């Protein structure tokens, strides 16, 4: 899982700012869950998301892409954020929209991991598996990282 957040280091990285997209549409079906920032909850959150999406009859490819991207964001929030972690998912107009929020203001970055680097690949996976992703600072503090997968 990725733990790459903005900060000192020799890694080449870039931050993806918030973009205004059609994601702000009211969702047809949605769910929200909040939990303490503990490693066990990262696995539980992925299981929760996979089951929730499967109950809605979406395609396997979209479910897989959403679950992997979601898992990366939740793991980052648990390992590098500040709890509690809040996850939201919505399905609308053939899209799976997910958002992961935590209390830390450190923004995630896409890193260029070396061939032998076992870490720093998570946000690259999010970028590769999703149609769009963005990050925003929340008015109440912390950040929210969201993505869209076409179903």
pLDDT of 7 over the 50 cut: no
Q: What is the CA radius of gyration of the chain?
A: 14
Give 112-139 as a DSSP string. ---TT-SSS-HHHHHHHH-SEEEEEE-T
The pLDDT value given to residue 13:
38
Domain positions in the chain are 29-150
More confident residue, 57 or 137: 137
Give the burial class of 95: count Cβ atoms within 10 A of its Cβ; 0-12 exposed, 13-18 middle, 19 or more buried. buried
For residue 50 the two structure tokens come to 């996979």
Q: Cα 16 from chain centroid?
A: 13
Q: Indicate the pTM of the whole model.
A: 0.78
Beta strands in the chain (DSSP E): 13-15, 29-35, 85-92, 95-102, 109-111, 132-137, 143-150
* pLDDT tens digits for range 67-116: 999 999 999 999 999 989 999 999 988 899 999 999 999 988 777 766 77
Three-class DSSP category at 5: strand
Q: Are 135 and 15 in contact (CB under 8 A)?
A: yes
CATH number of the 29-150 domain: 3.30.565.10
Distance between CA atoms of 64 and 82, rounded to whole angstroms? 27
Q: Token pair of 24, please?
A: 């702000």
């Amino acid at each position: 899982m990725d733990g790459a957040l903005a900060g000192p280091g020799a890694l080449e990285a870039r931050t993806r700012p918030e973009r205004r997209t059609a994601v702000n549409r009211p969702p047809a079906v949605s769910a929200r869950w909040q939990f303490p920032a503990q490693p066990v909850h990262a696995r539980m959150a992925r299981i929760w998301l996979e089951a929730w999406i499967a109950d809605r009859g979406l395609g396997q490819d979209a479910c897989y892409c959403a679950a992997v991207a979601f898992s990366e964001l939740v793991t980052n929030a648990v390992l590098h954020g500040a709890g509690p972690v809040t996850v939201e998912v919505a399905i609308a107009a053939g899209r799976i929209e997910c958002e992961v929020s935590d209390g830390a203001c450190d923004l995630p970055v896409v890193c260029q991991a070396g061939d032998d680097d076992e870490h720093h690949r998570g946000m690259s996976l999010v970028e590769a598996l999703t149609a769009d992703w963005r990050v925003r600072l929340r008015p109440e503090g912390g950040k929210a990282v969201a993505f869209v997968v076409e179903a």
